[in-house]
């Protein structure tokens, strides 16, 4: 699908909106201005691609709202070369943002059809994280530890496995709450015994399923 002047113009306006809503990290805004979000949409829904809203991607799941992607990515403080685990691959858009920031990305998805679809589609666009199928509420121990972990589905509590799979100084960004509203949390692992917790604003995510998610 082509990336026309019209798409680029709409993307610029969307990025301006994110700035007005408080996103300050220039590198996050820059990569989001580069990535053509409309290619993650079916042709019939193209006009929704540059609105600041979540959108269904099938299998009862959504591509997160651009503001949410920008907010979570900003909280992660991504540095080039960071090893990052993303839980909830979905459309692959968030993974594309992280890869574009120079991170080495491991992404895991619970729903097989979505995993298969995105694993094929995203590398065709030039973004190549490592794809995994399974229950990310347990993390991905085989490739731990990670510098950063981002959870893109709403969790009932913070899964302890995720904290144990972070390096010292590592960051976990995760929405935690009930089925409707979750607070965004940033947990920094100062040491094995000390976790610093910061609480941010409310969001509304689809539920994190699995062993340490919603049953
Ligand atoms: N990051 C995605 C994107 O950029 O499009 C948005 C993801 S969507 C809001 C949440 C995703 O988390 C869904 O695809 C859902 O199937 C997945 N999910 C839910 N529970 C999971 C689990 N335990 N492990 C891995 N993925 C999970």
To test the pocket of ligand 1, the residue of 90, 108, 116, 137 to mutate (highest count of ligand atoms within 8 Å of its CB) is 90
Domains and CATH numbers, the chain: 5-203 (3.40.50.150)
Which of 144, 133, 208 is CA-nearest to residue 176? 208
Q: Which residue has 């994110």 as its token pair?
A: 18
12 confidence band (pLDDT: 50, 70, 90) = very high
pTM here is 0.97
At a CB cut-off of 8 Å and minimum separation 6, what does 155 contact? 137, 174, 175, 176, 182, 208, 212, 213
pLDDT mean across residues, the chain: 96
Report CA(44)–ligand 1 centroid distance (Å). 23
Asked whether 136 lines ligand 1 (CB < 6 A), one says: yes
Residue 186: its pLDDT value, please? 98
Percent of the chain with pLDDT over 90: 92
Asked whether 159 lines ligand 1 (CB < 6 A), one says: no
At a CB cut-off of 8 Å and minimum separation 6, what does 175 contact? 151, 153, 154, 155, 182, 183, 184, 185, 203, 205
Asked whether 183 lines ligand 1 (CB < 6 A), one says: no
Which pLDDT tens digit goes with each residue over 103-116? Answer: 999 999 999 999 99
Residue 57: its pLDDT value, please? 87
What is the rounded distance in angstroms from the CA atom of residue 9 to the CA atom of residue 117?
A: 28
Model confidence at 1: pLDDT above 80: no
Residue 61: its pLDDT value, please? 86
145 contacts 125 by C-beta, under 8 angstroms? no
Choosing from 4, 27, 64, 212, which is the catalytic residue?
A: 64
Based on the residue annotation, tell me whether 64 is a catalytic residue of this protein: yes
Asked whether 61 lines ligand 1 (CB < 6 A), one says: yes
Does the interface predicted TM-score (ipTM) exceed 0.90? yes
Which pLDDT tens digit goes with each residue over 159-203? Answer: 999 999 999 999 999 999 999 999 999 999 999 999 999 999 999
Which pLDDT tens digit goes with each residue over 31-59? Answer: 999 999 999 988 878 889 999 999 998 88
């Amino acid at each position: 699908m082509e990336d026309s002047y019209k798409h680029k113009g709409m993307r610029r306006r969307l990025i301006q909106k994110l700035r007005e809503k408080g996103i300050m990290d220039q590198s996050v805004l820059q990569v989001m201005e580069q990535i053509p979000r409309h290619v993650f949409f079916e042709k019939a829904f193209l006009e929704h691609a540059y609105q600041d809203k979540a959108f269904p991607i099938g299998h009862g799941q959504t591509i997160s709202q651009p503001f949410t992607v920008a907010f979570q990515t900003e909280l992660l403080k991504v540095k080039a070369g960071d090893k990052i685990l993303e839980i909830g691959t979905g459309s692959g858009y968030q993974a594309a943002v992280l890869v574009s920031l120079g991170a080495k990305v491991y992404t895991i998805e619970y729903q097989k059809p979505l995993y298969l679809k995105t694993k094929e589609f995203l590398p065709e666009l030039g973004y190549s994280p490592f794809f995994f199928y399974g229950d990310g509420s347990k993390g991905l121990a085989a490739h731990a530890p990670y510098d950063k972990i981002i959870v893109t589905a709403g969790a009932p509590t913070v899964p302890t496995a995720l904290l144990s799979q972070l390096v010292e100084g590592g960051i976990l960004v995760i929405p935690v709450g009930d089925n409707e509203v979750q607070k965004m949390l940033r947990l920094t692992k100062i040491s094995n015994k000390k976790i610093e917790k910061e609480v941010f604003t409310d969001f509304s995510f689809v539920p994190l399923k699995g062993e340490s998610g919603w049953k």
